[in-house]
Amino acid sequence: MSVKKVMVVDDATMMRLVIRNLLNEDPNLRVVANCKNGKEALELLHEVNPDIILLDLEMPEMDGLTFLRHARLKCKAKILVLSSIATSGSGAAAKARVLGADAVIAKPSGAVSFDLAEKRGSVLVTTIYKLLGLPIPS
């Protein structure tokens, strides 16, 4: 199985680090781009050609919803929203889905969730595997 390329888009440096550390533990996933906003991510899309994009919603310069509008026209990558404001049933989660998000997961402890691996790590990785059509590891 080829390693799947992941783009992480989040304005919080520490959150990008937490996500990268979690995903790089998986031999089938590799973070190939860390972007601080949607504008930067759009500029890198064709260069890195990710298989999946993990996207925060609240960011300066270009937020996640605006990025979604543009990204759906420019690439076929799966897009998983990972945001503190996109809780189950929220307006932000619904809007993200309407704009083309393939899945939405809420960060467990706010904008910078240092406990992501412990509280939602397995859900995040399993969701990525499902979106990419990979067999779920046991």
Using N-to-C axis directions, what is the helix angle for 91-98 and 64-74, rounded to 10°? 20
Q: Residue 121: in which H helix or E strand, if any?
A: helix 116-132
Q: Domain 4-132: state its class.
A: alpha beta
pLDDT in tens, 98-138: 889 999 998 988 788 888 888 888 999 999 999 999 998 77
Task: Give the ranges where 4-90 is alpha helix by DSSP (H).
Answer: 13-24, 38-48, 64-74
The answer, as to whether pTM is greater than 0.75, is yes
Q: Where are the domains of the chain?
A: 4-132
Q: How does DSSP assign 72-116, residue by residue?
A: HHH---EEEEEETT--TT-HHHHHHHHTT-SEEEE-TTSSS-TTH
